[in-house]
């Protein structure tokens, strides 16, 4: 009798990480892909805003004796902001969480209200143009991203009922 042939194990090539593959549509609806791209663009612009305002914010904290001991809150606030933003992105764009969709919607609405209220500050005194433009860009990208979550293909992604083209939303059993 002959010995059984041994098969050599061949190592599988490791897939390389590619940003373009990561952001590719895959099986996700076009509206969700657009949401993801706009939302992440808003996140990147907000990081630029943090970078531009970091020193002035740290200086304002340091000048006031009441807030000087809390300088450590600035990096913590940045980390918390990043964590919440990325968690919401993941839950909406990758896990189809309807609850996260509504959290994003509410936070975007609050950001719009805050922007309008902050326009009073712009009219009363000098505001750096960079800060104003970054805030407007962040808001515009956030509004555009959130709008994508209400398209028919996105509603289907979240498991929400969609209308049959006549504007009537069904309750799930066709009525």
Question: pLDDT tens-digit profile of 8-48?
Answer: 666 666 656 555 655 566 789 999 999 999 999 999 999 99
Which residues, 6 or more positions from 59, have their beta carbon under 8 angstroms from its beta carbon? Answer: none
Q: Is the pLDDT of residue 172 over 60?
A: no
Q: Do the domain assignments include residue 116?
A: yes
Using CA atoms, how far apart are residues 63 and 107, in angstroms rounded to an integer? Answer: 31
Residue 170 within a domain: no
Asked if the structure places residue 8 within a domain, the reply is no
**Residue 66 or residue 106, greater confidence:** 106
**Please, which residues have CB within 8 angstroms of residue 92's CB and are 6 or more apart in sequence?**
32, 35, 36, 39, 100, 101, 104, 149
Is residue 169 situated within a structural domain? Answer: no
Q: Is residue 20 part of a domain?
A: no
Which residue bears the tokens 């979240």? Answer: 158
Say which residue the tokens 């933003």 belong to.
85
List the single range of 38-42, 118-122, 153-157 with lowest mean pLDDT. 118-122
Question: Sign of the CA dihedral 145, 138, 117, 86?
Answer: positive
Rounded to 5 degrees, φ, ψ at 126 are -75, 125
At residue 167, does pLDDT exceed 60?
no
Residues in the chain: 175
The pair of structure tokens assigned to 80 is 């918390």
Q: How far is CA 173 from the centre of its chain?
A: 33
DSSP for residue 153:
H
The larger pLDDT score, comparing residue 148 to residue 120, is at 148
Which pTM value belongs to this model?
0.77
Residue 120 falls inside a structural domain: yes
Burial class (CB in 10 A: 0-12, 13-18, 19+), 18: exposed
Min mean pLDDT across 80-89, 109-118, 142-151, 164-173 is at 164-173
Is pLDDT above 50 for 170? no
Instruction: Classify residue 15: in a domain, yes or no.
Output: no
In a domain, 58, yes or no: yes
Domain of 87, in residue numbers: 29-158
Question: How many Å is the Cα radius of gyration of the chain?
Answer: 23
Domain count within the chain: 1
Q: Which one-letter DSSP state was computed for residue 163? A: -
């Amino acid at each position: 009798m002959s010995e059984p042939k041994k098969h050599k194990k061949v190592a599988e090539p490791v897939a390389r990480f590619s940003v373009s593959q990561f952001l590719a549509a895959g099986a996700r609806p076009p509206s969700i892909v657009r949401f993801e791209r706009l939302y992440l663009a808003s996140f990147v612009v907000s990081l630029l805003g943090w970078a531009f305002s970091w020193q002035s914010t740290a200086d304002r904290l340091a000048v006031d004796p009441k807030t000087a001991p809390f300088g450590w809150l600035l990096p913590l606030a940045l980390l918390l902001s990043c964590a919440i933003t990325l968690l919401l992105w993941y839950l909406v764009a990758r896990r189809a969480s309807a609850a996260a969709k509504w959290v994003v919607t509410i936070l975007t609405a609050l950001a719009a209200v805050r922007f309008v209220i902050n326009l009073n500050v712009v009219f009363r005194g000098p505001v750096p143009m960079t800060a104003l433009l970054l805030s407007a860009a962040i808001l515009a990208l956030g509004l555009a991203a959130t709008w994508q979550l209400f398209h028919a293909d996105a509603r289907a992604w979240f498991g929400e009922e969609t209308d049959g083209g006549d504007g009537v939303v069904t309750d799930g059993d066709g009525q």
